[in-house]
Structure 1
């Protein structure tokens, strides 16, 4: 089991690599670069970049243990056919109209090179904050027999938390890794993590990368 709060993960003590996936949310250039979407909104991407070494260690450890790696990427079609009038209005209001920011055809859509993405990894592309909305994410997880999810990525308060909530409502067992998630707003980051543990773990559990890697290493040594 992984030492976690408010209870150890998973609740039944059955940590099985075959049914577990590491979810790496939106580690894209548009969020982590100094000239991407996130920076253009006035946020400092350095807290997001700071988690890169930790996320990389988790990816390596999970791969060694036989845990599947699932990456998500957020962005719209190049022709904007999947963008609603409200989303276009927000895009214009943010000064992004006419740019290639958050478009799947742009370099900013790609995962940053510091993250090791391999052919065997699963990639889920999305337009919404939550990875389950209008995607095949749930179908892929069910098809792979995955029931337990370890959450990392950006941002803690938006895409990570939205996907986490969606996963919990679909009865996946969820653990959020506190030092492998980040936000440009520290208050929002801390609040999002706190909300996981309310009502005795309404959105699953919290742990840090050290505890997760220790548990995974024990599995690997078996």
Structure 2
């Protein structure tokens, strides 16, 4: 099990790597680069970049233990045919008209080079905050018999939390890794982490990366 609050994960005491996936939410240039969407909105991307070494350590431990790695990327079609009138209005209001920011045709859509994406990893492209909305994420997870999800990525309060909430409603067991998630708004980040633990873990459990790596390393050691 993984040492966590308000309960150790998973609740039933059976952590099985082949039934577990590590989700890396939206670790893209548009959110982490100094000239991407996030920076253009006036946020400092450095807190987001600060988690990359932690995510890499988690991925290394997860791969060694046999855990599935899932990356998500957020962005719209190049022709913006999948963008609603409200989203178009928001884009114009943000000063993004005429740019390729948050479009799948732009370089900002790509996962940052600091994060290794291997051929066996799964990549889910999305337009919404939740990685479940209008995607095949749930189909992929069910097909691989995955029941437990470990959450990393950005931003804690928006795409991570929205995906987390939907995952809980779809009866996945969820663990948010506190030092592997980040936001440009520290207050929102801390509030999002706190919300995981209320009502005895209404959105699952919360742990630090060190506890997750320690638990996963036991599977690697046992395989030697």
- For residue 151 of structure 1, what is the aligned residue in structure 2? 151
RMSD over equivalenced CA pairs, Å: 0.3
Pair 1:72-2:68 in alignment: no
Partner deviation per Cα, 1:107-153 (whole Å, 9 max, x = no partner): 00000000010000000000000000000000000001000000000
**Structure 1 residue ranges (4+ consecutive) displaced by more than 6 angstroms after TM superposition:** none
- For residue 122 of structure 2, what is the aligned residue in structure 1? 122
Partner deviation per Cα, 1:153-199 (whole Å, 9 max, x = no partner): 00000000000000000000000000000000000000000000000
C-alpha deviation, 1:220, in angstroms: 1.3
- For residue 4 of structure 1, what is the aligned residue in structure 2? 4
Q: Distance in 1 between matches of 2:24 and 2:144?
A: 17
Q: Distance in 2 between matches of 1:129 and 1:206?
A: 21
Partner deviation per Cα, 1:30-74 (whole Å, 9 max, x = no partner): 000000000000000000000000000001110000000000000
- For residue 44 of structure 2, what is the aligned residue in structure 1? 44
* TM-score normalised by the chain length of structure 2: 0.99
Q: Distance in 1 between matches of 2:37 and 2:173?
A: 31
Q: Distance in 2 between matches of 1:80 and 1:185?
A: 28
Q: Distance in 1 between matches of 2:156 and 2:18?
A: 26
What are structure 1's unaligned runs of at least 5 residues? Answer: none
- For residue 15 of structure 1, what is the aligned residue in structure 2? 15
Q: Distance in 2 between matches of 1:88 and 1:60?
A: 39
C-alpha deviation, 1:219, in angstroms: 1.5
* TM-score normalised by the chain length of structure 1: 1.00
- For residue 189 of structure 1, what is the aligned residue in structure 2? 189
Pair 1:55-2:55 in alignment: yes
What are structure 2's unaligned runs of at least 5 residues? Answer: none
Q: Distance in 2 between matches of 1:125 and 1:96?
A: 20
Aligned length: 222
- For residue 167 of structure 2, what is the aligned residue in structure 1? 167
